[in-house]
Amino acid sequence: MNLNLPDVTLMATFHDFGEARSGDTGVSSLSVHGVCKLFTLEREGLEANLKGLKISQRVLELFDDDRGYKTPEALIVHIVDNLEGIEKSFHAARDAKEIIDDVLKNIRSNMEIYNNKKDVDEKLGEVARFLVREILTPGIEVIAVAYDMDVNIENILN
């Protein structure tokens, strides 16, 4: 499978750019609403921040793809972004069980999304399984150890 490296680069560079206005509060949104409801806020912020840039339309298209996890490029960026969010959330939790539970709920939800990619497209499913096995799972384990969290990764994966 060939990756579109310019798309990965653009998504990696700009996927959080809208959060300058909305804030990076995915887990907080999950705590309040039971689901993460930041797409519209982040997209509006991204659109405002990109105003005047020649690349703005392509970045917005990629942002929409990224949030739909429809391409291998989007999965790569999303899984790496998960690790960032997990680290920030564990740091912010400071042993607060409710926040940790929300982080774990969010991880489980994302794992379900990744596991279901095989139903959409077998190749996309292969990419998702590879990224979960080689990047996300070991990353979560390293982050959990760094914050002295007792996280059973097998329970999250199943």
The 10s digit of each residue's pLDDT in 75-116 is: 999 899 889 888 988 888 887 888 888 888 888 888 888 888
The 10s digit of each residue's pLDDT in 41-86 is: 888 889 999 999 999 999 999 998 877 888 899 999 989 988 988 8
What is the total count of domains within the chain? 1
**Beta carbons within 10 angstroms of residue 150's beta carbon:** 7
b/e for 55-65, b at 16 or more Cβ within 10 A? eeeebbebbeb
DSSP per-residue string spanning the chain: ----HHHHHHHHHHTTTTHHHH-S-HHHHHHHHSS---HHHHHHHHHHHHTT-TTHHHHHHHHHHHHHT-SHHHHHHHHHHHHHHHHHHHHHHTT-HHHHHHHHHHHHHHHHHHHTHHHH-HHHHHHHHHHIIIIIHHHHHHHHHHTT----HHHHH-
Whole-prediction pTM: 0.80
Asked if residue 10 has pLDDT above 80, the reply is yes
Domain that includes residue 30, residue range: 5-157
Query: Which tokens sit at 74?
Result: 């989007």
Residue 66, classified by CB atoms within 10 Å of its CB into exposed (0-12), middle (13-18) or buried (19+), is buried
Query: Which tokens sit at 10?
Result: 């653009």
Give the residue carrying structure tokens 């298209």.
61
Query: Are the beta carbons of 49 and 20 closer than 8 angstroms?
Result: yes
Asked if residue 33 has pLDDT above 60, the reply is no
- Rounded to whole angstroms, what are the CA distances from 100 to 27, 96, 106, 139? 9, 6, 10, 16
